[in-house]
Amino acid sequence: MDRPLKSPGLHALEETFQRQVETSRGEPAPTLQARLDRLRRLRAAVTENEARFEAAISADFGHRSTVETVIAETMLVLGEIKHAAKHLKHWMAPQKIPTTLQFAPAKNRLIPQPLGVVGIMAPWNYPLQLTLAPAVAAIAAGNSAIIKPSELVPRFAELLMEVIAKKFDATELAVTDIDEEIAKAFVALPFDHLIFTGSTRVGRLVAEAAGRNLTPVTLELGGKSPAIVDGSADIDEATRRIAYGKLLNAGQTCIAPDYALVPEASVQSFAMRLQGHMQHMYGTDPANPDYTSIISDRHYTRLERLVADAAAKGASIMQPAAPNDPDWKGKRKFPPTVIVDATPEMAVMQEEIFGPLLPVMGYRDAADPIAYINKHDRPLALYWFGTDSAARDEVLARTVSGGVTVNDCLFHFAQAYQPMGGVGASGTGAYHGEWGFKTLTKLKPVFYRSRLNRLADLYPPYGAKIARLEKLMRYLS
């Protein structure tokens, strides 16, 4: 029986991968100037098509705030490019490493080398930023890369493929089709490194598939990122900042605060002020252009289910309108929702929300938030609000998370000099800035033998000389 023919997209993927492998193995590492030129071309691809990217992303979402695309995607990508270009010469330089004393006057060096071919599997929620920020790291490190966008943003994916193809040869940087067959084939390719951003469930499948090829992976996943409001916090300030962190991109952010832990006596005040700030920022009209739509009907229905489950289990629901209101649902705008007196049994406290819902749980003792967080998977982000530095340091010392912002939300992600990555179920590995360069670089240790060193005394035949050398080595060890 004849085998079914491969789709054109799958054939193109395999051909592109093979060409990139052959190029990376057959040519020297790209020079500083070649890498800077690629970064320049990537910057041009973004700046020359900003309006087109904004329109494509908005169309894929149903509606996406242009301002959010600019500040959370375009500017972050351009910032990554600028930072890499500024520091690349230093990153690429061989590093002087001390030599163990008994081997002096030999010398050691760490020489950065590209890994080869990098695979980038991007999600839908920030499609421009989460495809091109890893690409910046790959280019800076001297690698070629293939990007697999999400199937939930087809207009964006088509545009990205067009734009990248105009600026890059396929042996440098390429974009694949987005169908399911491509996704399965993509993770099965023996990349030299694979970067995946998405859910923990899919991340496990990606890691399993990559493991068959011993492909190292960077997984930026998600989970339930808590916001701890300490008794010393200014409630009004905390709720305003949490409202912004929660509702940016309508909560469809992997590091959005997923739930709030608040002193019991302040829960009602917190919820009222939070709802007030949400309405001040986004109003109560679903036509508000600042408020982003939910990506699909399936995700909208999932959020409805979470709210209904919480209400059925005793939570109080605060919303400007019901989710099934045709004015909201017709635009896939989910009303900003505060879930008061949430409990661990509710689905909203067990699943990553990825939407504009914020459960609020009360606590009695300052140690309770730490205990609750440590009973669950380690989160991608943690937020702490307050002025008590001892309480803050206790939380920082006794919890483990991918990253932390103190007295605000999200902004640790935007720090070019800091790594971004998860821990445990929220991910593995890190990138951004120099961290991305190092993740996608082989730091090769090289030992340069000196003619003056007596290493030949280690060779047989052994005799009195080895005893003297052993005595010296033990003394120096």
Active-site amino acid positions: 220, 254
pLDDT at res. 457? 64
Tell me whether residue 265 is exposed, middle or buried, using C-beta atoms within 10 angstroms of its C-beta: 0 to 12, 13 to 18, 19 or more. Answer: exposed
Tokens of 209: 């598939």
- State residue 105's pLDDT score: 87
Angle formed by the axes of helices 8-26 and 180-188, nearest 10°? 30
Q: Percent helix, strand, coil in the chain (nearest 5)?
A: 50, 15, 35
Structure tokens at 50: 């900003």
Under DSSP, is residue 362 helix (H, G, I), strand (E, B) or coil? strand
**Cα(448)–Cα(394) distance, rounded to whole angstroms?**
47
Average pLDDT per 10 consecutive residues for the chain, totaling 477 residues: 64 94 93 98 98 98 96 97 98 94 87 97 97 98 98 97 98 93 93 96 94 96 95 97 98 97 97 97 95 97 97 96 94 97 97 97 96 96 98 97 97 94 94 95 93 70 72 72
Residue 443: which residues within 8 A CB-CB, separation 6 or more? 95, 110, 111, 112, 113
pLDDT of residue 2: 47
Name the one residue in this structure whose structure tokens are 């990506």.
Answer: 295
Q: Which long-range contacts (CB under 8 A, 24 or more apart) does 5-12 make?
A: 7/177, 7/179, 7/181, 7/182, 9/176, 9/177, 9/179, 9/181, 9/182, 10/181, 10/182, 10/185, 12/176, 12/177
pLDDT at 1: 41
Q: Which of 218, 144, 227 is nearest to 420 (CA)?
A: 218
- Set out the domains of the chain in order of their start, with CATH numbers: 8-221+428-442 (3.40.605.10), 226-419 (3.40.309.10)
For residue 450, which phi and psi values (nearest 5 degrees)? -100, 145
Q: Report DSSP state, residue 431.
A: B
**Of residues 282, 328, 272, 275, the one with CA closest to residue 304:** 328
* Structure confidence at residue 128 (pLDDT): 98
What's residue 104's pLDDT? 82
